[in-house]
Structure 1
């Protein structure tokens, strides 16, 4: 009976999260509370299932970015980038993609699009350019760029916390090369597709060049403090293997340091109000839902099923994970899928698979890249769509999918070739 209840609550919560009729954090938390009410587990177990390190890491990065954006440095950088390409539409598309990809890798993709998309829409409105190509490229770039690092995309954060020997540099070393290839391929194709729609207007470009980007930059002690601490925190992530300090501790230390430094200039309560609490509570509810499946043994059965389907063969298991993660994440948000798959991969080690690292990398690639399939495939997609709609530039679901599905398939094909030759070839003989 407990197994049936846990499954029904999980599936019902998942469906409601997909439909987005109610706030997803509210749905996830309600599902977790139902598991408590139905006695699937008790409060002590529920709190034990929540990955507090992931929650603390996300909270810390939100605090750092919330304070830094008050200085206008992100807006300043966006305007300067547009001026560097002299308002030319095609170079602007390429620069926007690169800026988004790099920002998504080192800040996280949701934060990056929240900061960049409103500025981008203002720029393309001044240049009287169609918004759709820029919004599309921004979404694709955020998900691809976020794949490259541990903090770039929520699925990677979750995987990084689940596997002790994965560091910040591990993600760059293992996923960075294939991300560069996928990003270059997708950007080249999109530039070719949209080049005829992007018409250069010299007069409007000249007006953009006359803008003073420095008006948006608040040069003050806060600027130097926030940028310095943000850079130090990212450097700390990179030095993680050498300083022997986990990235959550580094992120929390950076956030607290900046809060102390800016205490006299900023109200801490106001900073905390700007934290994306909905996202954090969504994660908590999600961990509770997956914990219910783990309690009743569903996760263990999924692991057995995967071993049975693949025959315990590492290459087959990795490819099944890559494509199932990619295709399913294209239909639903990738966070719930990864939350369910992490304990499955952990269980695989109990069925004779000692080297599961290729499976972890396959899960990360599939989940992050799969977000490009549809408009609801990743949190960053939903955020961009919301901002665009508020600026009267709605992104049609079907129109997005016409581009998103081919990009997803291409990305998974490139990722499959990469995973096979880098990790699986020795096991295929």
Structure 2
């Protein structure tokens, strides 16, 4: 009976989240508390076992660092300089925006980078008389693809990295960046072919762009912010040599920057800018998935996958890739990965000793699959929300036609990559 009640709470919560009628962080937390009230979880198991505070602290710390750095105006300055460097031409601007988004998403988290860039992009397209939709689509696709390349680029990767100790920042770069680069180039080629006739800019409007000035505070605060940001990313890359975990590096960077800039940016004001909704959404999801694990549903799911693939290593890895890729297109990839992490961990009990190809399959499928629909990733929802507020609504079906096509090609390329790099020897 308790198992059925747990499943009902999980499904109902998820369905309400998908309707987007209510704040998703609120609904996720309500679902988590429902697990407590139903007796599925105790307060101790909820807060000491199932909520991954390392992930929460890592996200919070990166939000603080990026919030302070963004106050200097450096991100807006980079975007406008980039637009001027291509003289406001439509296709080169699309490429520049996509490259900036992909690179930024790899090192600043994709939700953060779209929050910074979308308002700038809407301003640039309006000034140049360009349709905003192609650029918004490019931002969504590039953010999810770029975020796949590193441990901190996309929330699913953060969750996987925190769950598997030996999958370091450098490991993500080494194993995922090469295939991400190929997928990005392929996607950009497709977008250029799709939008090449729509992105024409008159010479007069190009001149208007040159008069646009980006305000950046060229002062010691900017130097402090960029220095701490670079040091923190370097710390991620060297954390195994420093014998520090990623959360410690991120927290140290955030606290250092808060201390160095407290005379300019008060900590209370910075904390107000943190995306608290995202953090509480994670906490609610951890409780929901914790409930499934507590009653044994996760174990049954693991056994079901093993039964379907008959324990074949290659089939299991590719099933996880495609299952996560397809499902992440229609449901937010964060709760899906939260549910799959304990499932893959269970495979060790069934004789699978090297789980790394399964983790890479999950990361690629979940992150790249987020391009399938507007519901597939947190960054997608952020872009859609900002676009709607600016009277540039991004249609669900119109995006899905492009997104699903990109996802299918991405998964095909990833299948070849996973097979020949990891599975051919099994």
TM-score under structure 2 length normalisation: 0.99
CA distance in structure 1 between the partners assigned to 2:61 and 2:272 by the alignment: 13
- 1:293, distance to aligned residue in structure 2 (A): 0.6
Q: 2:19 aligned with 1:28, yes or no?
A: no
Q: Which residue of 2 aligns with 1:321?
A: 320
Q: Which residue of 2 aligns with 1:43?
A: 43
- 1:241, distance to aligned residue in structure 2 (A): 2.2
CA distance in structure 2 between the partners assigned to 1:343 and 1:102 by the alignment: 30
Asked if structure 1 preserves the Cα contact closer than 8 Å seen for 2:324 and 2:365, the reply is yes
Q: Which residue of 2 aligns with 1:226?
A: 225
**Map 1:92-103 → 2, pairs under 5 A:** 92-103=93-104
Q: Which residue of 1 aligns with 2:332?
A: 333
CA distance in structure 1 between the partners assigned to 2:233 and 2:322 by the alignment: 31
Q: 2:114 aligned with 1:140, yes or no?
A: no
- 1:21, distance to aligned residue in structure 2 (A): 1.4
Q: Which residue of 2 aligns with 1:296?
A: 295
Q: Which residue of 1 aligns with 2:169?
A: 168
CA distance in structure 1 between the partners assigned to 2:411 and 2:143 by the alignment: 16
Q: Which residue of 2 aligns with 1:11?
A: 11
- 1:402, distance to aligned residue in structure 2 (A): 1.1
CA distance in structure 1 between the partners assigned to 2:340 and 2:320 by the alignment: 9
Instruction: Give CA-to-partner distance per residue, 1:304-331, whole Å, 9 cap, x none.
Output: 1111111111110011100000000001
**Map 1:405-424 → 2, pairs under 5 A:** 405-424=404-423
CA distance in structure 2 between the partners assigned to 1:63 and 1:313 by the alignment: 44
- 1:222, distance to aligned residue in structure 2 (A): 1.3
Q: Which residue of 2 aligns with 1:158?
A: 159
Q: Which residue of 1 aligns with 2:116?
A: 115
User: Where does the alignment leave 5 or more consecutive residues of structure 2 unmatched?
Assistant: none
Query: Aligned to 1:355, what secondary structure does the other structure show?
Result: coil
- 1:57, distance to aligned residue in structure 2 (A): 0.3
Cα RMSD after superposing both structures: 0.7
Give the aligned length: 425
Q: 2:222 aligned with 1:238, yes or no?
A: no
CA distance in structure 2 between the partners assigned to 1:209 and 1:235 by the alignment: 35
CA distance in structure 1 between the partners assigned to 2:211 and 2:36 by the alignment: 60
Asked if structure 1 preserves the Cα contact closer than 8 Å seen for 2:129 and 2:201, the reply is no
- 1:385, distance to aligned residue in structure 2 (A): 0.6
Instruction: Give CA-to-partner distance per residue, 1:213-238, whole Å, 9 cap, x none.
Output: 3xx10112211111110111011111
Q: Which residue of 1 aligns with 2:184?
A: 183
- 1:116, distance to aligned residue in structure 2 (A): 0.5
- 1:143, distance to aligned residue in structure 2 (A): 0.2
CA distance in structure 1 between the partners assigned to 2:354 and 2:400 by the alignment: 36
- 1:211, distance to aligned residue in structure 2 (A): 2.4
CA distance in structure 2 between the partners assigned to 1:13 and 1:340 by the alignment: 14
Q: Which residue of 2 aligns with 1:306?
A: 305
Following TM superposition, the consecutive aligned residue runs of length 4 or more in structure 1 with deviations greater than 2 angstroms are 210-213
TM-score under structure 1 length normalisation: 0.98
CA distance in structure 1 between the partners assigned to 2:37 and 2:242 by the alignment: 44
